Structure 1
Amino acid sequence: TEIRKLHAADRRRQIVISETLRADHRRSTEIIGLRTALQGQVTALQGHVIALQAQVTALQGQQGLAGGPTQPELPEEAGIVFSID
């Protein structure tokens, strides 16, 4: 009977191990899907950043062509006067 008890305990352990491996596989599959989705979002955000950088560059070019200041002027209250002769 001791051997039967050991076999039963061994079967229970094998069931637990099998269930744990199945759960681990499900989690791994879920992680792969989440990682893929996240990578897609990162790629999309990189595209947005590139587009925004292009817009900034275009706006800076327009400011330069218009002869406007590329830096905001200081208010007179600052007490600093710049003159270009």
Structure 2
Amino acid sequence: AWVRATDASDLVHGEVISLRTIVLDRRRSTETSELRTALQGQVTALQGQVTALQEQVTTLQGQQGLAGDHTQSELPEEAGG
């Protein structure tokens, strides 16, 4: 009887360990999924910021180009005068 009780106890202990492992794996999987979702949101936000900055750079380059064209068109007149 002692051997059977010990065997049963070992079996139950093994099952408990197995269930704990399953629960921990699922918890980690859920946490990983949540972190992945949060990171994807941050990436999306950063991509939006990069796009906005690129638009600002393009606008500034356009303004500098206009200013540069204006300055260049005046230079020959000043040099010739």
Range into which the TM-score falls when normalised by the shorter chain = 0.7 to 0.9
Give the letter aligned to residue 37 of structure 2: T
Deviation of 1:23 after TM superposition, in Å, equals: 1.3
In the alignment, the residues of structure 1 paired with residue 68 and residue 14 of structure 2 have an alpha-carbon distance, to the nearest angstrom, of 79
In the alignment, the residues of structure 2 paired with residue 34 and residue 47 of structure 1 have an alpha-carbon distance, to the nearest angstrom, of 20
Deviation of 1:7 after TM superposition, in Å, equals: 1.4
The answer to which of 32-41 and 18-27 deviates more is 18-27
Structure 2 alignment gaps of length 5 or more: 70-81
Superposed CA RMSD in Å reads: 1.2
User: How many pairs are equivalent?
Assistant: 68
In the alignment, the residues of structure 2 paired with residue 61 and residue 22 of structure 1 have an alpha-carbon distance, to the nearest angstrom, of 58
Deviation of 1:4 after TM superposition, in Å, equals: 2.1
The TM-score normalised by the length of structure 2 is: 0.78
The TM-score normalised by the length of structure 1 is: 0.74
| The structure with more helix, counted as a fraction of residues | 2
Can you list the C-alpha shifts for 1:21-51, whole angstroms capped at 9, x where unaligned? 1111111111111110000000000000011
* Structure 1 residue ranges, 4+ long, deviating more than 2 angstroms after superposition: none
Give the letter aligned to residue 2 of structure 1: V
From the CA coordinates, give the structure whose radius of gyration is larger. Answer: 2
The sequence identity of aligned pairs, in percent, is 54
In the alignment, the residues of structure 2 paired with residue 26 and residue 67 of structure 1 have an alpha-carbon distance, to the nearest angstrom, of 60
